[in-house]
């Protein structure tokens, strides 16, 4: 099952690689895509903490230089399938001369477990995942990437994490 989830996420992320080259110096109106990974810990009540590695991909629409809305899919340690909606606000109006800017985003959705319980999906619940990050543009590689911190909540457990995403 872990292999299937990984292959599925890779196939979703490869759709942006087939697009013709364009400059990612600023966020123009239209389709956007990002993919990334984050690392954190799960701190459930009365249970030892657990390392969490998340892989995610988000697809959506950039309405302006400062606002976008998307839907995404992620997994925690390939033990869950998480579906979410994401609102993102760039805290500066992006232009060609600025190579970095801060942003905030909020992801909210639902999670289903792939491993625990008697049947698939027994362990399920809501996800609230605010991100505070900084987006960078590397001109030499025509690459926009970002780093973020997230004080997330998964099934009412606190999951602080840090991450890296590539934006297309």
Give the total number of structural domains in the chain: 1
Helix, strand or coil for residue 27?
coil
- What range defines the domain where residue 46 resides? 2-167
- Pick 141 or 7 by higher pLDDT: 141
pLDDT band at 60 (very low <50, low <70, confident <90, very high): very high
Residue with tokens 């590689």: 141
Mean pLDDT across the chain, nearest whole number? 83
- Rounded to whole angstroms, the Cα distance separating 57 from 16 reads 11
- Rounded to whole angstroms, the Cα distance separating 157 from 116 reads 16
- Pick 27 or 50 by higher pLDDT: 50
- Pick 7 or 155 by higher pLDDT: 155
DSSP 34-97: EEEEEEEEEB-TTS--EEEEEEEEEEEEE-SSSEEEEEEEEEETTTEEEEEEEEEEESS---TT
Q: What pTM, to 2 d.p., does this model score?
A: 0.79
Instruction: Indicate whether 110 pLDDT > 60.
Output: yes
- Position 23 scores a pLDDT of 63
Sign of the alpha-carbon torsion through 77, 79, 81, 84: negative
> Using an 8 Å Cβ cutoff, are 148 and 163 in contact?
yes
List, in order, residues 6 or more apart from 41 with CB less than 8 Å away. 49, 50, 51, 52, 159, 160, 161
- Rounded to whole angstroms, the Cα distance separating 158 from 151 reads 7
Q: What is the pLDDT averaged over residues 136-164?
A: 90
- Position 38 scores a pLDDT of 97
Other C-beta atoms closer than 10 Å to the C-beta of 164 total 14
CATH of residue 108's domain is 2.40.160.20
> Using an 8 Å Cβ cutoff, are 93 and 66 in contact?
yes
Instruction: Indicate whether 35 pLDDT > 70.
Output: yes
pLDDT band at 122 (very low <50, low <70, confident <90, very high): low
pLDDT band at 92 (very low <50, low <70, confident <90, very high): confident
Instruction: Indicate whether 59 pLDDT > 90.
Output: yes
Instruction: Indicate whether 34 pLDDT > 70.
Output: yes
Of the listed ranges 50-54, 146-150, 155-159, the one predicted with least confidence? 155-159
Residue with tokens 């690459």: 143
């Amino acid at each position: 099952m872990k292999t299937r989830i990984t292959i599925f996420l890779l196939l979703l992320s490869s759709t942006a690689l087939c697009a013709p080259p364009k400059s990612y110096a600023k966020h123009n109106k239209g389709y956007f895509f990002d993919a990334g990974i984050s690392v954190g810990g799960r701190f459930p009540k009365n249970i030892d903490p657990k390392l969490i590695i998340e892989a995610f991909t988000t697809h959506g629409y950039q309405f302006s230089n400062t606002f976008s809305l998307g839907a995404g899919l992620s997994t925690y340690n390939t033990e869950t399938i998480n579906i979410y909606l994401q609102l993102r606000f760039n805290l500066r109006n992006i232009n060609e001369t600025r190579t970095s800017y801060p942003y905030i985003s909020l992801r909210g959705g639902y999670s289903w477990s792939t491993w625990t319980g008697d049947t698939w999906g027994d362990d399920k619940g809501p996800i609230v995942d605010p991100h505070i990050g900084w987006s960078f543009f590397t001109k030499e590689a025509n690459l926009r990437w970002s780093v973020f911190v997230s004080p997330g909540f998964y099934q009412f457990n606190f999951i602080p994490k840090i991450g890296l995403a590539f934006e297309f």
